[in-house]
A and B are shown apart, each in its own frame.
Chain A
Amino acid sequence: MAKTTITVDGRAHEVAATPDTPLLYVLREELSLNGPKFGCGLAQCGTCTVLVDGRAVRSCVTPVSAVKGAVRTLDGLAAGGKPHPVQAAFIAEEAAQCGYCANGWIMSSIAMLEKNPKATDAQIREQLSGLKCRCGTHMAILRAVRRAAAQMA
């Protein structure tokens, strides 16, 4: 079987999965990553979000064979043990209850702030629309993203 190669967090991996396998299953099962998580398998909640060439992508519906760019995951964000500014902001604001969805909010916020570090409150709400947090930590997430924006700008 033709092997697929993907670059994840700066390292190239040859993976054994069939080409139709969603990226999420490859990241979790073959690469044993824990950041992106299964939530719906339907691209409706965002818990599986990764960045591909800086764009937020729902890995649960993206076939591994369609992944051409560099993949960044939550697992690879902290540089030298130092959390990414968005992670640091989410920690400072304690923006989670169960924390299961945090991956989606953090990765999507990074994609947004790398493009638009001066995102307004309305833009933040608009761009993070569609991600799901079931515990209802929306207010803390908004504070965290605003804090991250202030630090990254």
Chain B
Amino acid sequence: MKMNRRKFLKSSGSLVVGVSASGAIQSLIAGDALAQGVSFPDPSPERLDTWVSVARDGQVTAFFGKVDMGLGLETAIAQIVAEELDMPVDRVSIVAGDTLLTANQGGASASSGIRAGAIPLRNAAAEARRVLALAGAERLGVAANAVGTANGEVFVLADPSKRIGYGQILDGKPLGTNVKWNKEMGTPLNVTGEAKPKSVADYKVVGQPVARRDIPAKMLGTTDYLTNVRLPGMLHARILRPPVGAAVPVSFDAASIASIAGARVVHKKDLLAVVAEREWDAVRAARMLKVEWTNPEMNWPGTEGVYDHIRSAPAVASNGESAFAGKRVYDETPTYKALAGAARVLTADYECPFQSHARIAPSVGVADVKPGSAVIYADTQKPHFVRLGIAKLLELPADKVRVMWKPGAGSYGRSDADEAPFEAAVLSRELGRPVRVQWTRNEGTAWDPKAPAAVISMKAGLNDKGGIDGWYMRSKGFSGWDVKFTADSPEQTLVGMQLGYKKWDMHNFDVPTETYQFANTVRFWQTVAPLQEKASPMRCAHLRAPQEVQTRFAQECFIDEVAMATGRDPLALRLAACKEPREIDVLKAVTEKAGWNAADTRPRTAKGDVVTGRGLALYNGYGSYAALVVEVEVNRRTGHVWARKVTVAQDSGLVINPASIKAVIEGNVVQGLSRAMCEEVTFDQKTVTSVDWNTYPILDMKDAPEQVDMVVLNRTDKASGGAGEPTLVSITAAVANAIHNATGVRMRRYPFTAARVRAALSA
């Protein structure tokens, strides 16, 4: 049986979905009884109907192949589609992330939702308007150039009372035409039609502060979260994790859980799980099961030893080798020469901890695997790639697997979200019933893929006038690609490795894009071997602004250190070293808003327990530019640091929704402060010791800033940039610079916990 997208849409009663009908299609999708061997073919990007459909009642549905992680993306996409179609925005519905219904646009990745993800939707909607206008003109009996479109209707220009709605024009039929596909999959996927999208000057819906459509349901408790998926006959599962990172199960004692009716153990190679009919029974079985584990020798360097370990460990890859096919992309010789001839060389090492996504809820996955096909429910950022990975794991062709994305706990990169769905798939295949795997808090913090720890070494060669003649940056750390950013193959997951798939052998760290232009600059990275080769709790992957928080911490602190050493205002030094006008614009905007005073940039000399200071930092990336001024209060007695006021200036090009972008920036500020002040994955010789919110604290409400001010530069002449990450990246450096301004103490290791700051102050 071939259950294609079209049959799904048709069987919902009409081709289309709307506000009311959207509920209908959702329940149909969720309630579909999965027949054996059913096929789920990919929607063809070349069909206009893959992107846009129009119901009889005129409601439009746009099919979005990325997903919204809570940043208001669906609302923004609806605005863009409504704009091109000349529709009221509330008559445009969005279906997102279901691999049967949407093309593979790459999922949530690199703040690309608008800057890349919206482009094919915009083009398709413009083309749909053209097709509808042509058909409408014919129905109205006038020439194609004698009609206009407005409010979801085609009307006669000379007599606007003669008009016909889009729904009436199509009468339930598809648009039926093709668009040109660039043959890319994932984020670069684009399609174009004959129609040209509108020019910005004509925008009516884009640029308006439209209310986020996902918000009311979230507050009323009616959002269709992944955690609410309850399938008939579904078993609940928990995975057993070893007491020591590299241990694997040897045997288990089934009698130890015999008192729990219906509880069972699944042991397959290195995977050990318990299942039960009721969730609490699964929890109890996981706690009670007696397991014998191997006892491998473990010699991790531990939280305090990790930086010396990184310094002394051999580099296994760099951006001259391995990841870029052996092509050396940097030459350090001119920098070494410049440093050797400099009047003075400043050096500093910056230390960056492992950090966890630590999602508000740990991984969940539901799988219904039948012989020959599978339906997976996941809140992954990349459902289309998870589909490929699970198909491979189940040894099924990709078109036999459907991944249905559901909203879930916030995710900030390659989090644990991708794990439980794979585990559920294995268990459902083994047991022949739908299975729901729920990770524990411990797993969600300790076994979540991490941001890699690193030591970033900076050097600047100064001439006798204080000018900078050489600039050196080496990022050395664990690979951020221990686990790939897409789980498109089983070895990218714990369970894949537990079942014998060989770990991915790729290595990557990062160096910043060229913000400051100095002579004889070299920026390069090196990675060291992972602490554990296989199925490791310490494996690293993308965490929001991957590796950039680390590198910008070093760069944006070090430029301040150079300013201090050469008697310059950190703002003036940055302005002199930037060549990009958009960087200069945000620096000027933020310092004007915050009342930056060049005469007040040396460490302040105030006495008393609580002292204040402020710091500046800059970022460019994802097509955006962000500058921040953070004002801190430092309690010199306790070491506690509070970021009292944060000022942001951001240029993300053309703004789609000014209300949403402000919320996104505010969220970046608070999560960025959390990473700067609180977050560090701790571990000892053999295991991760950050296992819950007490051992992996995040920013508490008491420490939220008093004030977040912002200037959003709406650059209508520039393409929209990504806003999901830029503000967060450099805030750690801005806080460190502010602590220095307040106390004269330079913090070169984050997070700036009270204990660490207190120790630095008394050193």
Contact with B along A111-151 (1 / 0, CB 8 A): 00000000000000110111111111111111000000000
Contact between A87 and B219, CB atoms less than 8 A apart: yes
Stretch at the interface among B20-28, B403-411, B575-583, B745-753: B403-411
* A78 surroundings in chain B (CB, below 8 A): 220
Are B441 and A98 in contact, CB atoms less than 8 angstroms apart?
no
A59 at the interface (CB under 8 A from B): no
Q: Given that A21-B280, A137-B666, A137-B667 are contacting pairs, would A100 and B360 also be in contact in the complex, using a CB cutoff of 8 Å?
A: yes
Q: Are A94 and B220 in contact (CB under 8 A)?
A: no
Complex Cα gap A134–B408 (Å): 12
- How many residues of B are counted as interface, with CB atoms below 8 angstroms from the partner's CB atoms? 56
* Residues A44 and B692 in contact, CB atoms below 8 Å apart: yes
CB of B699 within 8 Å of the partner chain: yes
Within 8 A of B (CB), among A96-112: 96-103, 106
Q: Of B221, B667, B693, which contacts A44 at CB under 8 A?
A: B693
- The residues of B that contact A125 with a CB separation of less than 8 Å are 701-702, 704
| Given the contacts A102-B219, A125-B704, A139-B670, A94 and B211 also touching, CB distance less than 8 Å | yes
> Among B222, B280, B692, B705, which residue has its beta carbon within 8 angstroms of that of A40?
B692
Across the interface, B659 reaches (CB within 8 A) one of A91, A94, A96, namely: A94
Is B180 part of the binding interface, using a Cβ–Cβ cutoff of 8 Å?
no
Q: For A144, give the chain B residue with the smallest CB separation.
A: B219
Q: Which residues of B contact A32 (CB under 8 A)?
A: 230
In the complex, the answer to whether A133 meets B280 with C-beta atoms within 8 Å is no
- Interface assignment of B694: CB less than 8 Å from any CB of chain A: yes
Please, which residues of chain A bring their CB within 8 A of the CB of B223? 34, 99
Write the chain A residue with the least CB distance to B704: A138
B438: CB under 8 A from chain A? yes
B669 touches A99 (CB 8 A): no
Residues of B within 8 A of A94 (CB): 211-212, 215, 659, 663
B441 contact set on A, CB distance < 8 A:
39-42, 44
Residues of A20-47 whose CB lies within 8 A of B: 21-22, 25, 28-29, 32-35, 37-42, 44-45, 47
A90 to B441, CA, bound (A): 27
Contact A99 B670 (CB under 8 A): no
User: B440 — nearest CB in chain A belongs to which residue?
Assistant: A41
Residues of chain A lying within 8 A (CB to CB) of residue B359: 134
Contacts of A73 in B (CB 8 A): 221
Q: Quick check: is B146 within 8 A (CB to CB) of the other chain?
A: no
Q: Is the CB of A97 within 8 A of B71?
A: yes
Query: Given A34-B225, A106-B219, A134 and B280 touching (CB < 8 A)?
Result: no
Residue of chain A at shortest CB distance from B360:
A134
A to B contact number (C-beta, < 8 Å): 163
Residue interface mask A56-100, B partner, CB < 8 A = 1: 000000000000000001110110000100010011001111111
CB <8 Å contact, A101 and B360: yes
Answer yes or no: A18 CB below 8 A from chain B CBs: yes
Output the nearest chain A residue to B706 by Cβ-Cβ distance.
Answer: A121
Q: Which residues of B contact A141 (CB under 8 A)?
A: 701
Beta-carbon contact of A35 and B221 below 8 Å = yes
Q: B70 near A98 (CB under 8 angstroms)?
A: yes
Chain A hits for B410, CB < 8 A: 97-98, 100, 134-135
Q: Which of A94, A129, A135, A140 has the most CB of B within 10 A?
A: A135
Evaluate contact between A99 and B70: CB separation under 8 angstroms: yes
Q: Does B700 contact A (CB under 8 A)?
A: yes
> How many Å lie between the Cα of A91 and that of B704 in the bound state?
20
- Determine if B670 and A132 form an interchain contact, defined as CB atoms under 8 angstroms apart: no
Provide the bound-state CA to CA distance between A74 and B222, in Å. Answer: 10
A91 and B216 within 8 A (CB): yes
State in angstroms the CA–CA spacing of A90 and B704 once bound together.
17
Q: Taking the nearest CB of chain A, how far is it from the CB of B291, in angstroms?
A: 20
Complex interface bits, B144-184 against A, C-beta within 8 A gives 1, otherwise 0: 00000000000000000000000000000000000000000
**Taking the nearest CB of chain B, how far is it from the CB of A76, in angstroms?**
9
Question: Hey, which chain B residues are within 8 Å of A33, CB to CB?
Answer: 221
One of B70, B361, B438, B699 near A47 (C-beta < 8 A): B361
Question: How many Å lie between the Cα of A29 and that of B227 in the bound state?
Answer: 11
Residues on the B chain within 8 Å of A28, using CB: 279
The answer, yes or no, to whether B42 is at the interface (CB within 8 Å) is no
Contact residue among A87, A95, A97 (Cβ-Cβ distance under 8 Å from B220): A87
Instruction: Provide the bound-state CA to CA distance between A139 and B709, in Å.
Output: 11
The residue of chain A having its C-beta at the shortest distance from the C-beta of B660 within the complex is: A94
* Shortest distance between the CB of B97 and any CB in chain A (Å): 14
Q: What is the chain A residue whose CB lies nearest that of B694? A: A44
Known: A29-B278, A75-B221. A138 touches B215 (CB 8 A): no
Q: Which residues of B contact A42 (CB under 8 A)?
A: 441, 692-693
Q: Would B698 and A134 count as touching, CB distance under 8 A?
A: yes
Q: A39 is contacted by which of B228, B361, B668 (Cβ under 8 Å)?
A: B361
Cβ contact of A45, chosen from B215, B669, B670, B693, cutoff 8 A: B693
Please give, as numbers and ranges, the residues of chain A lying within 8 Å of B701 by CB-CB distance. 125, 128-131, 133, 138, 141-142
Given known pairs A41-B441, A138-B704, the reply for A34 and B221 (CB within 8 Å) is yes
Q: Would B220 and A136 count as touching, CB distance under 8 A?
A: no
Contact of A90 among B211, B219, B225 (CB under 8 A): B219
Q: Is B690 an interface residue (CB 8 A)?
A: no
* Cβ contacts under 8 Å, A35 to chain B: 221
Q: Flag if B408 contacts A100 (CB, 8 Å).
A: yes
Indicate whether A38 sits within 8 Å of B227 (C-beta atoms), given known contacts A97-B71, A129-B701, A136-B667: yes
Cβ < 8 Å to A, chain B residues 651-677: 659, 663, 666-674
Q: A107: shortest Cβ distance to chain B, in Å?
A: 10
The reply to whether the CB of B218 lies closer than 8 angstroms to some CB of chain A is: yes
A74 contacts B221, C-beta separation under 8 Å = yes
In the bound complex, CA of A91 to CA of B219 (Å) = 7
Is B221 a contact partner of A103 (Cβ separation < 8 A)? yes
When chains A and B are docked, how far (Å) is the Cα of A130 from the Cα of B700? 6
A25 touches B669 (CB 8 A): no
B358 proximal to A (CB < 8 A): yes
Partner of B358, one of A17, A47, A96, A134: A134
Determine how close the nearest CB of chain B comes to the CB of A7; give it in whole angstroms: 19
8 Å CB contact of A98 from B407, B702, B704:
B407
Interface residues of B in 437-474 (CB under 8 A from A): 438, 440-441
Asked if residues B360 and A98 are in contact (CB atoms below 8 Å), the reply is yes
Alpha-carbon distance A99/B358, docked complex (angstroms): 15
| A135 to B672 alpha-carbon distance, docked (Å) | 10
Expressed in whole angstroms, the minimum distance between the Cβ of A124 and any Cβ of chain B is 8
Which B residues are CB-close (under 8 A) to A101? 360
* Residues 176-232 (chain B) with a chain A CB within 8 angstroms: 211-212, 214-216, 218-223, 225, 227-228, 230
Cβ contacts under 8 Å, A39 to chain B? 360-361, 409, 441
Complex formed: what's the CA distance from A25 to B279 in Å? 7
Do A139 and B218 touch across chains, with their CB atoms under 8 A apart?
A: no
Q: A98-B408, A138-B670 are in contact. Are A83 and B220 (CB under 8 A)?
A: yes
Contact at B671–A135, with CB atoms within 8 Å? Answer: yes
Give Cα A140–Cα B211 distance, bound, in whole angstroms.
14
B-side residues, CB < 8 A to A, are 69-71, 211-212, 214-216, 218-223, 225, 227-228, 230, 278-280, 283, 358-361, 407-411, 438, 440-441, 659, 663, 666-674, 692-694, 698-702, 704-705, 708
Interface residues of A (CB under 8 A from B): 17-18, 21-22, 25, 28-29, 32-35, 37-42, 44-45, 47, 73-75, 77-78, 83, 87, 90-91, 94-103, 106, 125-126, 128-142
Question: What are 7 A-B contacts defined by CB distance under 8 Å?
Answer: A34-B225, A83-B220, A99-B218, A99-B407, A100-B225, A100-B360, A100-B361
8 residue pairs, one from A and one from B, having the closest CB atoms? A99-B218, A136-B670, A97-B70, A98-B410, A35-B221, A136-B671, A138-B704, A98-B70
Since A73-B221, A96-B70, A136-B668 are in contact, a sample of 7 more A-B pairs with Cβ atoms closer than 8 Å, ordered by chain A residue number, is A25-B280, A34-B228, A39-B361, A42-B692, A100-B409, A136-B671, A139-B705
